[in-house]
Amino acid sequence: MGVPEQTVSRRGVAWFAGVEATGVVEVVDVRAQPERLTEPGWWAVVGDFEGSVRAWRFEAVGPAGPGDGRGWSGPSPTSWTSSLDRAEYVAAVGRVRDHIQEGDVYQANLCRVLSAPLPGEPDARALGALLGAGNPAPYAGGVQVPGEVWVVTASPELFLRVEGGVVTSGPIKGTAATPDAMTDKDRAENVMITDLVRNDLQRVCVPGTVEVTTLLGEERHPGLVHLVSTVQGVLTDEVAAAADLWTRLLDATYPPGSVSGAPKSSALDIIAALETTPRGPYCGAVGWIEVGADGSVRAELAVGIRTFWWADDVLRFGTGAGITWGSDPEGEWAETELKAARLVGLASGGGAGTMTD
Ligand SMILES: C=C(O[C@@H]1C=C(C(=O)O)C=C[C@H]1O)C(=O)O
Protein backbone atom coordinates (compact mmCIF):
# COMPACT_ATOMS: atom_id res chain seq x y z
CA MET A 1 0.00 0.00 0.00
CA GLY A 2 2.98 2.34 0.24
CA VAL A 3 2.11 3.00 3.88
CA PRO A 4 5.11 3.04 6.20
CA GLU A 5 5.01 0.51 9.02
CA GLN A 6 4.13 2.25 12.26
CA THR A 7 5.54 1.23 15.55
CA VAL A 8 2.59 1.98 17.82
CA SER A 9 -0.22 2.11 15.28
CA ARG A 10 -1.63 -0.45 12.88
CA ARG A 11 -1.31 -0.23 9.14
CA GLY A 12 -4.09 1.66 7.39
CA VAL A 13 -4.85 4.54 5.08
CA ALA A 14 -7.76 6.92 4.60
CA TRP A 15 -8.17 9.83 2.23
CA PHE A 16 -10.92 12.44 1.96
CA ALA A 17 -11.21 16.11 1.03
CA GLY A 18 -7.55 16.63 0.16
CA VAL A 19 -6.33 14.89 3.32
CA GLU A 20 -4.50 11.59 3.57
CA ALA A 21 -4.11 9.79 6.87
CA THR A 22 -1.96 6.82 7.81
CA GLY A 23 -1.45 4.66 10.87
CA VAL A 24 -4.52 3.51 12.80
CA VAL A 25 -4.45 4.14 16.52
CA GLU A 26 -7.87 2.77 17.48
CA VAL A 27 -11.31 1.87 16.19
CA VAL A 28 -14.58 2.70 17.96
CA ASP A 29 -18.23 1.81 17.56
CA VAL A 30 -19.61 5.32 17.08
CA ARG A 31 -23.07 4.69 18.48
CA ALA A 32 -21.89 2.70 21.48
CA GLN A 33 -18.87 4.90 22.35
CA PRO A 34 -19.76 8.36 21.01
CA GLU A 35 -17.84 10.12 23.78
CA ARG A 36 -14.59 8.86 22.24
CA LEU A 37 -15.30 11.23 19.35
CA THR A 38 -15.08 14.23 21.64
CA GLU A 39 -11.32 13.71 22.04
CA PRO A 40 -9.06 15.64 19.65
CA GLY A 41 -8.12 13.69 16.54
CA TRP A 42 -8.98 12.80 12.96
CA TRP A 43 -11.27 9.88 12.36
CA ALA A 44 -12.32 8.05 9.20
CA VAL A 45 -15.92 6.86 9.41
CA VAL A 46 -17.71 3.99 7.68
CA GLY A 47 -21.31 3.11 8.54
CA ASP A 48 -23.25 0.14 7.23
CA PHE A 49 -26.76 0.82 5.97
CA GLU A 50 -27.90 -1.85 8.44
CA GLY A 51 -26.84 0.37 11.34
CA SER A 52 -23.31 -0.28 12.60
CA VAL A 53 -21.08 2.81 12.33
CA ARG A 54 -17.35 2.58 13.06
CA ALA A 55 -14.62 5.23 13.21
CA TRP A 56 -10.86 4.71 12.97
CA ARG A 57 -8.56 7.29 14.55
CA PHE A 58 -5.46 7.94 12.48
CA GLU A 59 -2.06 8.96 13.71
CA ALA A 60 -0.60 10.99 10.85
CA VAL A 61 -2.75 13.37 8.81
CA GLY A 62 -1.40 15.44 5.93
CA PRO A 63 -2.15 16.66 2.43
CA ALA A 64 -3.18 13.93 -0.03
CA GLY A 65 -1.22 13.39 -3.22
CA PRO A 66 -3.05 12.41 -6.41
CA GLY A 67 -2.26 8.71 -5.85
CA ASP A 68 -1.32 6.26 -8.53
CA GLY A 69 -4.00 4.14 -10.20
CA ARG A 70 -1.50 1.88 -11.94
CA GLY A 71 -1.42 -0.48 -8.98
CA TRP A 72 -5.07 -1.38 -9.45
CA SER A 73 -5.91 -4.71 -11.00
CA GLY A 74 -9.69 -5.13 -11.04
CA PRO A 75 -12.00 -7.97 -11.94
CA SER A 76 -12.84 -8.74 -15.54
CA PRO A 77 -15.78 -6.69 -16.85
CA THR A 78 -17.75 -9.88 -17.51
CA SER A 79 -17.32 -11.34 -14.01
CA TRP A 80 -19.90 -9.12 -12.26
CA THR A 81 -23.21 -10.61 -11.11
CA SER A 82 -26.20 -8.75 -9.64
CA SER A 83 -28.07 -9.66 -6.43
CA LEU A 84 -31.31 -8.98 -8.35
CA ASP A 85 -31.32 -9.54 -12.11
CA ARG A 86 -33.36 -7.43 -14.47
CA ALA A 87 -36.59 -9.47 -14.14
CA GLU A 88 -36.29 -9.63 -10.34
CA TYR A 89 -35.60 -5.92 -10.03
CA VAL A 90 -38.52 -4.99 -12.31
CA ALA A 91 -40.81 -7.28 -10.27
CA ALA A 92 -39.60 -5.70 -7.02
CA VAL A 93 -40.37 -2.21 -8.40
CA GLY A 94 -43.90 -3.51 -8.97
CA ARG A 95 -44.06 -4.67 -5.34
CA VAL A 96 -43.00 -1.21 -4.13
CA ARG A 97 -45.78 0.31 -6.25
CA ASP A 98 -48.24 -2.13 -4.64
CA HIS A 99 -47.12 -0.86 -1.23
CA ILE A 100 -47.58 2.73 -2.40
CA GLN A 101 -51.11 1.88 -3.55
CA GLU A 102 -51.80 0.33 -0.13
CA GLY A 103 -50.63 3.56 1.54
CA ASP A 104 -47.69 1.90 3.35
CA VAL A 105 -45.09 4.20 1.83
CA TYR A 106 -44.85 6.92 -0.81
CA GLN A 107 -41.27 6.34 -1.88
CA ALA A 108 -38.76 3.52 -1.37
CA ASN A 109 -35.20 3.30 -2.67
CA LEU A 110 -34.71 -0.12 -4.21
CA CYS A 111 -31.15 -1.34 -4.66
CA ARG A 112 -29.11 -4.26 -5.91
CA VAL A 113 -25.53 -5.25 -5.23
CA LEU A 114 -23.07 -6.19 -7.97
CA SER A 115 -20.23 -8.54 -7.02
CA ALA A 116 -17.16 -9.90 -8.72
CA PRO A 117 -14.49 -12.29 -7.42
CA LEU A 118 -11.20 -10.53 -6.61
CA PRO A 119 -8.81 -12.75 -4.64
CA GLY A 120 -6.32 -11.17 -2.25
CA GLU A 121 -6.79 -7.79 -0.51
CA PRO A 122 -6.45 -5.19 -3.27
CA ASP A 123 -4.96 -1.69 -3.00
CA ALA A 124 -7.84 0.67 -2.14
CA ARG A 125 -5.75 3.80 -2.67
CA ALA A 126 -4.96 2.67 -6.24
CA LEU A 127 -8.67 2.29 -7.04
CA GLY A 128 -9.27 5.68 -5.41
CA ALA A 129 -6.67 7.27 -7.71
CA LEU A 130 -8.20 5.60 -10.76
CA LEU A 131 -11.70 6.84 -9.89
CA GLY A 132 -10.34 10.28 -9.00
CA ALA A 133 -8.97 10.60 -12.53
CA GLY A 134 -11.89 8.98 -14.37
CA ASN A 135 -14.88 10.02 -12.26
CA PRO A 136 -14.13 12.98 -9.97
CA ALA A 137 -16.71 13.29 -7.17
CA PRO A 138 -17.25 15.92 -4.47
CA TYR A 139 -17.10 13.39 -1.61
CA ALA A 140 -14.53 11.00 -3.08
CA GLY A 141 -12.40 9.12 -0.60
CA GLY A 142 -11.72 5.79 0.99
CA VAL A 143 -10.53 3.80 3.97
CA GLN A 144 -8.45 0.64 4.08
CA VAL A 145 -7.46 -1.01 7.32
CA PRO A 146 -6.33 -4.55 6.52
CA GLY A 147 -8.70 -7.14 7.92
CA GLU A 148 -11.16 -4.46 9.17
CA VAL A 149 -12.48 -2.22 6.44
CA TRP A 150 -12.02 -1.64 2.70
CA VAL A 151 -14.16 1.05 1.09
CA VAL A 152 -13.59 3.36 -1.89
CA THR A 153 -16.23 5.95 -2.71
CA ALA A 154 -17.01 8.31 -5.56
CA SER A 155 -20.06 9.67 -3.74
CA PRO A 156 -21.73 12.79 -5.10
CA GLU A 157 -24.05 13.07 -2.08
CA LEU A 158 -23.59 14.85 1.26
CA PHE A 159 -25.20 13.02 4.17
CA LEU A 160 -24.10 15.23 7.08
CA ARG A 161 -21.71 18.12 7.36
CA VAL A 162 -21.14 19.53 10.84
CA GLU A 163 -19.25 22.79 11.20
CA GLY A 164 -19.59 25.73 13.56
CA GLY A 165 -22.65 24.18 15.23
CA VAL A 166 -24.54 23.96 11.92
CA VAL A 167 -25.60 20.65 10.38
CA THR A 168 -26.13 20.40 6.62
CA SER A 169 -27.43 17.60 4.41
CA GLY A 170 -27.64 17.50 0.60
CA PRO A 171 -30.22 14.92 -0.45
CA ILE A 172 -30.07 13.80 -4.09
CA LYS A 173 -33.16 12.53 -5.85
CA GLY A 174 -33.62 12.78 -9.56
CA THR A 175 -31.18 11.17 -11.98
CA ALA A 176 -31.02 11.46 -15.75
CA ALA A 177 -28.43 11.12 -18.49
CA THR A 178 -29.04 14.72 -19.60
CA PRO A 179 -30.82 17.75 -18.03
CA ASP A 180 -33.67 17.70 -20.56
CA ALA A 181 -34.48 14.09 -19.57
CA MET A 182 -35.34 15.17 -15.98
CA THR A 183 -39.10 14.78 -15.36
CA ASP A 184 -41.78 15.93 -12.92
CA LYS A 185 -41.45 12.51 -11.31
CA ASP A 186 -37.77 13.27 -10.51
CA ARG A 187 -38.73 16.62 -8.99
CA ALA A 188 -41.51 15.02 -6.92
CA GLU A 189 -39.09 12.34 -5.66
CA ASN A 190 -36.67 15.01 -4.52
CA VAL A 191 -39.29 17.11 -2.75
CA MET A 192 -40.52 14.08 -0.76
CA ILE A 193 -37.03 13.26 0.47
CA THR A 194 -36.10 16.89 1.14
CA ASP A 195 -39.14 17.10 3.39
CA LEU A 196 -38.07 13.92 5.20
CA VAL A 197 -34.54 15.27 5.74
CA ARG A 198 -36.01 18.51 7.11
CA ASN A 199 -37.92 16.42 9.60
CA ASP A 200 -34.81 14.39 10.53
CA LEU A 201 -32.67 17.49 11.13
CA GLN A 202 -35.44 19.15 13.13
CA ARG A 203 -34.89 16.50 15.81
CA VAL A 204 -31.46 17.89 16.69
CA CYS A 205 -31.83 21.57 15.68
CA VAL A 206 -33.15 24.72 17.28
CA PRO A 207 -36.83 25.02 16.30
CA GLY A 208 -37.31 27.32 13.35
CA THR A 209 -33.69 27.13 12.16
CA VAL A 210 -34.04 24.23 9.71
CA GLU A 211 -34.12 25.66 6.21
CA VAL A 212 -34.04 24.36 2.66
CA THR A 213 -31.32 26.61 1.24
CA THR A 214 -31.41 25.04 -2.25
CA LEU A 215 -34.38 23.18 -3.71
CA LEU A 216 -33.93 21.04 -6.82
CA GLY A 217 -30.49 22.36 -7.78
CA GLU A 218 -29.15 20.73 -10.91
CA GLU A 219 -25.68 19.18 -10.67
CA ARG A 220 -23.70 17.58 -13.46
CA HIS A 221 -21.59 14.56 -12.59
CA PRO A 222 -19.62 12.35 -14.97
CA GLY A 223 -22.16 10.71 -17.28
CA LEU A 224 -25.28 11.93 -15.45
CA VAL A 225 -27.24 14.82 -13.97
CA HIS A 226 -28.77 14.94 -10.48
CA LEU A 227 -31.28 17.10 -8.64
CA VAL A 228 -29.77 18.14 -5.32
CA SER A 229 -31.41 20.01 -2.45
CA THR A 230 -29.64 21.43 0.59
CA VAL A 231 -31.12 21.44 4.08
CA GLN A 232 -29.44 22.98 7.09
CA GLY A 233 -30.12 23.86 10.68
CA VAL A 234 -28.47 25.09 13.87
CA LEU A 235 -27.79 22.33 16.39
CA THR A 236 -29.33 22.96 19.78
CA ASP A 237 -26.75 23.92 22.41
CA GLU A 238 -27.59 20.74 24.27
CA VAL A 239 -26.91 18.51 21.25
CA ALA A 240 -23.83 20.44 20.15
CA ALA A 241 -22.24 20.08 23.59
CA ALA A 242 -23.36 16.51 24.25
CA ALA A 243 -20.77 13.81 24.86
CA ASP A 244 -23.05 11.55 22.81
CA LEU A 245 -23.36 14.04 19.93
CA TRP A 246 -22.87 11.32 17.31
CA THR A 247 -25.45 8.97 18.80
CA ARG A 248 -27.96 11.82 18.78
CA LEU A 249 -27.15 12.84 15.21
CA LEU A 250 -27.33 9.26 13.94
CA ASP A 251 -30.49 8.42 15.88
CA ALA A 252 -32.14 11.42 14.22
CA THR A 253 -30.96 10.82 10.67
CA TYR A 254 -29.65 7.29 10.03
CA PRO A 255 -29.80 5.63 7.57
CA PRO A 256 -29.90 8.54 5.11
CA GLY A 257 -33.40 9.40 3.90
CA SER A 258 -32.54 9.55 0.20
CA VAL A 259 -31.51 5.89 0.11
CA SER A 260 -34.33 4.70 2.39
CA GLY A 261 -37.64 6.29 1.43
CA ALA A 262 -40.58 7.95 3.07
CA PRO A 263 -41.95 7.39 5.62
CA LYS A 264 -38.53 6.05 6.55
CA SER A 265 -39.51 3.23 8.92
CA SER A 266 -42.03 1.68 6.50
CA ALA A 267 -39.56 2.06 3.63
CA LEU A 268 -36.90 0.21 5.65
CA ASP A 269 -39.28 -2.71 6.22
CA ILE A 270 -40.09 -2.90 2.52
CA ILE A 271 -36.40 -2.74 1.56
CA ALA A 272 -35.59 -5.55 4.02
CA ALA A 273 -38.33 -7.70 2.51
CA LEU A 274 -37.47 -7.11 -1.16
CA GLU A 275 -33.68 -6.88 -1.28
CA THR A 276 -31.78 -10.16 -1.12
CA THR A 277 -28.41 -9.10 0.29
CA PRO A 278 -27.21 -6.61 2.93
CA ARG A 279 -26.14 -3.23 1.57
CA GLY A 280 -23.21 -2.92 3.97
CA PRO A 281 -21.36 0.40 3.51
CA TYR A 282 -23.37 1.03 0.34
CA CYS A 283 -26.11 3.54 1.28
CA GLY A 284 -24.49 3.97 4.69
CA ALA A 285 -22.08 6.78 5.61
CA VAL A 286 -18.48 7.29 4.51
CA GLY A 287 -16.31 10.25 5.52
CA TRP A 288 -14.41 11.87 8.33
CA ILE A 289 -14.77 13.61 11.69
CA GLU A 290 -12.16 16.01 13.07
CA VAL A 291 -12.16 17.12 16.68
CA GLY A 292 -9.97 20.15 17.36
CA ALA A 293 -7.81 20.72 20.44
CA ASP A 294 -10.57 23.04 21.73
CA GLY A 295 -13.18 20.29 21.30
CA SER A 296 -14.73 21.85 18.19
CA VAL A 297 -16.20 19.35 15.74
CA ARG A 298 -15.94 19.39 11.95
CA ALA A 299 -17.24 16.47 9.96
CA GLU A 300 -18.24 15.53 6.46
CA LEU A 301 -20.02 12.24 5.91
CA ALA A 302 -21.17 11.25 2.42
CA VAL A 303 -24.01 8.90 1.60
CA GLY A 304 -22.16 5.69 0.65
CA ILE A 305 -23.41 5.55 -2.93
CA ARG A 306 -21.20 5.05 -6.03
CA THR A 307 -19.10 3.04 -3.61
CA PHE A 308 -16.97 -0.09 -3.87
CA TRP A 309 -16.25 -2.32 -0.93
CA TRP A 310 -14.17 -5.45 -0.71
CA ALA A 311 -14.29 -8.38 1.73
CA ASP A 312 -13.70 -12.11 1.55
CA ASP A 313 -12.14 -12.01 -1.92
CA VAL A 314 -15.17 -10.29 -3.45
CA LEU A 315 -15.41 -6.72 -4.76
CA ARG A 316 -18.88 -5.21 -4.46
CA PHE A 317 -20.71 -2.13 -5.77
CA GLY A 318 -24.32 -1.12 -5.15
CA THR A 319 -26.77 0.65 -7.39
CA GLY A 320 -30.38 1.65 -6.85
CA ALA A 321 -33.17 4.10 -7.56
CA GLY A 322 -36.01 5.87 -5.78
CA ILE A 323 -39.35 4.23 -6.59
CA THR A 324 -42.56 6.27 -6.52
CA TRP A 325 -46.04 5.66 -7.89
CA GLY A 326 -44.88 7.35 -11.10
CA SER A 327 -42.03 4.85 -11.64
CA ASP A 328 -41.66 2.93 -14.87
CA PRO A 329 -40.04 -0.37 -13.75
CA GLU A 330 -37.87 -0.75 -16.86
CA GLY A 331 -36.86 2.91 -16.57
CA GLU A 332 -35.75 2.35 -12.95
CA TRP A 333 -33.64 -0.66 -14.02
CA ALA A 334 -32.05 1.53 -16.69
CA GLU A 335 -31.32 4.18 -14.04
CA THR A 336 -29.48 1.62 -11.90
CA GLU A 337 -27.44 0.63 -14.97
CA LEU A 338 -26.62 4.28 -15.69
CA LYS A 339 -25.38 4.84 -12.13
CA ALA A 340 -23.14 1.76 -12.24
CA ALA A 341 -21.81 1.69 -15.81
CA ARG A 342 -19.03 4.24 -15.67
CA LEU A 343 -17.64 3.38 -12.23
CA VAL A 344 -17.84 -0.38 -12.66
CA GLY A 345 -16.21 0.07 -16.08
CA LEU A 346 -13.33 2.01 -14.49
CA ALA A 347 -12.85 -0.55 -11.70
CA SER A 348 -12.86 -3.31 -14.29
CA GLY A 349 -9.92 -1.72 -16.05
CA GLY A 350 -12.06 0.50 -18.30
CA GLY A 351 -14.08 -2.49 -19.52
CA ALA A 352 -17.40 -2.75 -21.23
CA GLY A 353 -19.92 -1.84 -18.52
CA THR A 354 -21.93 -3.78 -15.98
CA MET A 355 -23.20 -6.74 -18.00
CA THR A 356 -25.59 -7.75 -15.29
CA ASP A 357 -28.69 -8.88 -17.15
C1 LIG B 1 -29.27 4.54 -4.72
C2 LIG B 1 -28.50 5.34 -5.44
O3 LIG B 1 -28.75 6.67 -5.58
C4 LIG B 1 -29.75 7.30 -4.84
C5 LIG B 1 -30.95 7.49 -5.66
C6 LIG B 1 -31.07 8.57 -6.50
C7 LIG B 1 -32.27 8.72 -7.39
O8 LIG B 1 -33.18 7.90 -7.29
O9 LIG B 1 -32.29 9.63 -8.24
C10 LIG B 1 -30.07 9.55 -6.48
C11 LIG B 1 -29.08 9.55 -5.56
C12 LIG B 1 -29.12 8.61 -4.43
O13 LIG B 1 -29.78 9.13 -3.33
C14 LIG B 1 -27.27 4.85 -6.09
O15 LIG B 1 -26.53 5.66 -6.64
O16 LIG B 1 -27.01 3.66 -6.05
Contact of 240 with 180, CB cutoff 8 Å? no
pLDDT at 2: 47
Residue 38's nearest CA partner among 253, 270, 290 is 290
Compute the distance between CA of residue 227 and CA of residue 220 in angstroms, rounded to an integer: 9
pLDDT at 66: 79
* Residue of 172, 196, 219 with the most ligand 1 atoms within 8 Å of its CB, for mutation: 172
**241 SS3 class:** helix
How far, CA to CA in Å, does 199 sit from each of 193, 214, 251, 283? 10, 16, 13, 19
What is the share, in percent, of the chain residues with pLDDT greater than 90?
Answer: 93
Per residue in 153-165, pLDDT (tens digit) is: 999 999 999 999 9
**Can you give the C-alpha Rg of the chain in angstroms?**
19
Could you tell me the distance, in angstroms and rounded to a whole number, from the CA of residue 319 to the centre of ligand 1?
7
Task: Evaluate: CB of 173 within 6 angstroms of ligand 1.
Answer: yes
* Residue of 158, 258, 306, 335 with the most ligand 1 atoms within 8 Å of its CB, for mutation: 258
Closest-CA residue, ligand 1 atom 6, reads 173
Closest-CA residue, ligand 1 atom 10, reads 173
pTM exceeds 0.90 for this model: yes
Per residue in 251-289, pLDDT (tens digit) is: 999 999 999 999 999 999 999 999 999 999 999 999 999
Q: How confident is the model at residue 355 (pLDDT cuts 50, 70, 90)?
A: very low
73 φψ region: left (φ > 0), alpha (ψ -120 to 50), beta (else): beta
Listed by start position, the domains of the chain span 5-77+91-348
Q: Among the CATH numbers 3.65.10.10, 3.60.120.10, 1.10.3720.10, 3.90.226.10, which is that of 5-77+91-348?
A: 3.60.120.10
